[in-house]
Amino acid sequence: MKIVKVSPEIAATIRGRKNQLDRVELEPKDLISPLREWETRPTVAAKRIFSTLGVLSSTAFIVGVDYADIPFLGVPQGQGGKWLSLILFAGIVVSGFAYLWNRSIDLRVREFEFLALREKIKRASSCVDTILESLEPADASDFPDIRVVFDGSDRAKGQRVDFECQQLDAVLLYREKVSGEEFKRSIFERVEVWFLVGLASLGTIGLSLYWLKAFCP
């Protein structure tokens, strides 16, 4: 057990901030939200179509394969291949628009849900920071087994503040693990979008060049 001697004033501050912390409706399980899948089924379906068509068309363009020779487009070297290339082009544009549109809606809903959670984390973190500053040289690893002793009294009274609470566990868990994972996930999601858009852009460029050669020889 770690014993920390504090003045009665600091002890009152600790108890006050601890009471404020107890009133914050925050639990460790609430922190799962930033890490769970948030894209809805329409968004996922559109992304699969968009990514499939983007990979197919961009790969053919990079490798230099004639689009009419791709079995997916139907009859090789025929007029059907030319028109199917237009269908593929339209499929990329439509599925890409559907994906980005649905994703933007899902993202707004997600941000709205996170607004309340971030506010709770902010309030709880403020209480925890004050408690940690008051308990120096103690740190977060000393929780919950800390006994606060009033210094300067005739008879030192051990006042054990109950630091075993879900709010404290949630704040420490968020700082140690969830915050970093949330940041990395956010970066990955942004890179994923730009990667898919980049592939689709290459594919549409290749299809446009093919279409010009096929219909404007």
Tokens found for residue 153: 């009294």
Contacts of 157-166 with CB under 8 Å at 24 or more apart are 158/3, 159/11, 161/14, 161/15, 161/18, 162/18, 163/18, 163/131, 165/18, 165/21, 165/22, 166/26, 166/27, 166/28
In sequence order, the 6+-apart residues with CB closer than 8 A to the CB of 147 are 1, 2, 3, 4, 158, 159, 160
pTM beyond cutoff 0.75: no
- For the stretch 97-128, pLDDT in tens is 999 999 999 998 888 878 888 888 888 888 88
Q: What is the pLDDT of residue 156?
A: 44
Q: Which of 62-76, 178-192, 196-210 has the lowest mean pLDDT?
A: 62-76
Residue pair 134/6 in contact by the 8 Å Cβ criterion? yes
Distance CA(194)–CA(53), nearest Å, equals: 15
Q: What is the pLDDT of residue 101?
A: 96
Kindly tell me if the per-residue pLDDT of 53 is higher than 80.
yes
Average pLDDT over residues 57-79: 67
Kindly tell me if the per-residue pLDDT of 167 is higher than 60.
yes
Average pLDDT over residues 144-162: 49
**What count of other Cβ atoms lies within 10 Å of the Cβ of residue 116?**
11
Average pLDDT over residues 203-215: 81
Q: What is the pLDDT of residue 217?
A: 60
Q: What is the pLDDT of residue 41?
A: 92
Query: Is the bond preceding 8 in cis, omega lying within 30 degrees of 0?
Result: no
Q: What percent of the chain has pLDDT over 90?
A: 20
Average pLDDT over residues 206-216: 77
Ordered alpha helix ranges (H), the chain? 8-23, 41-63, 79-134, 166-173, 179-215
If one compares 31 and 95, the residue with the highest pLDDT of the two is: 95
Q: What is the pLDDT of residue 3?
A: 53
Distance CA(124)–CA(165), nearest Å, equals: 11
User: b/e map of 152-172 (b: 16 or more CB within 10 Å)?
Assistant: eeeeeeeeebebebbbbbbbb
Average pLDDT of the chain?
A: 76
Q: What is the pLDDT of residue 138?
A: 53
In sequence order, the 6+-apart residues with CB closer than 8 A to the CB of 191 are none
Give the three-class secondary structure for 159: strand
Contacts of 176-184 with CB under 8 Å at 24 or more apart are 178/31, 178/34, 178/35, 181/34, 181/35, 182/34, 182/35
**What count of other Cβ atoms lies within 10 Å of the Cβ of residue 54?**
24
**With bands split at pLDDT 50, 70 and 90, how would you rate the model's confidence at 93?**
very high
Average pLDDT over residues 53-79: 71
**With bands split at pLDDT 50, 70 and 90, how would you rate the model's confidence at 39?**
confident
Tokens found for residue 40: 């809805």
